[in-house]
A and B are shown apart, each in its own frame.
Chain A
Amino acid sequence: MTEYDVIIVGAGPGGSVSAKFCAEAGLKTVFFERGRKPGEKNASGCGLGPRMWREFPEMMKRLTPDVAPNLRMASCVINHYLNKEMEEIAVEMYYPTASVTYEPAKKFITMNCYRSEFDPWISSLAVEAGAELRTSTLIKDLIKDDKGKTIGVQTDTGEKIFGKIIIGADGVISTVAIRSGLNPRWRPDQITLVPQYDFSAPPDIIDKMFGSDGLFRDAADGTWWGVTFPSAYQVIFGDGFHIGLGAWMGQWTSNPINFLNKLISSRPFQRMVKALNAKPREIQTHLLPWTQEPIKTYTDNVMLVGDAGGFPCPLEAEGVFPAMETGKLAAETAIKCIADGDTSKQGLKLYEEKWRKSSTGIEFSTGGETLQRLWKNLFFSVQSEKNNMEWFIPLYHEIRGGHFDWSEPHIIRMRQILETVRSYIPQAMPFFQKYVIPLISDVIEEDLNLLPLFIKLTEGLRPKKKK
């Protein structure tokens, strides 16, 4: 019988980082992957945020085109706005702003990398550090002692492996979370379903359009906001792109693929497909935890990291960085608790103390709830009872685009725009009060009610004389 110090279920970004740090500290470490190699079961956006380079500088400088040939820098986000008729009515592009404080965040928003390239690379760092990687192995159950404490795992062939600590890095439907009792089942409002198409496109055309000398310089990340479908993301890699969208379980009124098909069949999207000579290459679908608060993430001898613990950020559900950060914190906890000889839940409480103080934890401490409520009721409101995008998109279009126009003398145009903006106030005001003010209160850390000020301001903007 082999006994390990640490057993990690999952060889994605969370499991691999845990395995690397545990092995580097001299712990006997094994990590399991159900695919034939890490990354072949995973689908995600997949944009890597600059916080990874800040928190893991030594590791991330080794992520180069040699190991991830289709890595592409995304310096700029492109927002596409579509109306009810699925016609494009606005496009905007944003590079990082002056308030961004550090490199490489000043240079890029994300580094786009296929999971089929990223996961084999990051798991190889753990193997290099001395962790044992077992692929093609599904962990089906946990082994418990007579007091009900987890002491090992069982594979799909019945093999039993024992360990002092078990780290669940096994994703959204986590055997470790379910069998340990930490999370028997997600509520529908805690998980989203995300269908995604991968399209191929010739690298030279991608370069011409989105390369560093391209028409849209280093644009490698796009969002598509429409009235009739949940907000979609587009992530551009070296030889293709992903287009996907998601919404919470229980909110779908029709098969999720229908919404995605409606978007990719739209004329604006088809124009891009044609310009890039893009072809559908792969269909991928996954569940993604998207919660206002992570679940309980530790119990006797067990910790949960990444998606298994509900750690994707509450606003955009970015999951790779939180997985890596919580993976590292779980490893630090394991190292200390094994040294101290206390892997009980009292000992492992340290893990939660650590993640609450981390960059990942700050996302949830203040603002997580208000940000997510705003997001959920605006760009993802398509399936909720009130489709706020129906007024938001034309209102935004009017404010941002209304003055690029020579149809009337400018002062007349400005009054037309103002009147149109005012016509949306009955819909915008309750939304503003319910979702925006609580968020501003969280940002400035003070309860406030800006509504009277806002109403006064808009009343005051009425032209005083009849036209």
Chain B
Amino acid sequence: MDIQLEKISEHVGDTGDFIKVDSEKCNGCGQCALVCVANLWLIRKGKAILKDDYTKKCLECAACYSVCDIGAIEFSYPRGGTGVVYLKG
């Protein structure tokens, strides 16, 4: 069954940046990319980078932040009233 996730996910408002990567700390282990259900991470030249449109696709689970045991990922939620909306959560 082929499901395109962005077609079954709704986002509202201007979230601002809410995930930051410290590229000095990042060792490119790829765990963030492995667990991201929305597939928003790329590993380029041994560093994790977020896709440009992540704020429109992020499901706000914070798995990337939680799995990064060297603490290279900073996660705060989108500003109030913006971001992913679960209509049938």
Contact = CB atoms under 8 A, between A and B. Distances in A.
B28 to A, nearest CB: 17
A240 B8 CA distance: 14
Contact of A285 (B37, B66, B78): B37
Contact of A172 (B62, B76, B84): B62
Interface residues of A, number: 52
A193 B66 CA distance: 10
Given A41-B86, A115-B86, A35 B81 contact: yes
Given A40-B87, A261-B3, A280-B1, 6 more contacts: A34-B78, A42-B89, A188-B67, A255-B39, A257-B37, A282-B87
B interface, how many residues as a size bin? 35 or more
Given A138-B79, A261-B1, A281 B8 contact: yes
Contacts of B62: 172-173, 287
Nearest to A156: B79
A40 B80 CA distance: 12
Interface of B: 1, 3, 5, 8-10, 12, 34-39, 59-63, 65-67, 69, 75-81, 83-89
Interface in A170-185: 172-173, 185
B89 A137 contact: no
A249 B89 CA distance: 22
B5 A283 contact: yes
Given A195-B37, A197-B3, A282 B88 contact: yes
A160 B67 CA distance: 31
Given A41-B84, A41-B86, A287-B66, A252 B77 contact: no
B89 A155 contact: no
A282 B3 CA distance: 10
A115 B34 contact: no
Given A41-B60, A193-B61, A249-B66, A280 B3 contact: yes
Interface string A239-272: 0100000000110101111000100110000100
Interface in A222-239: 237
Contacts of B83: 41
A264 B1 CA distance: 7
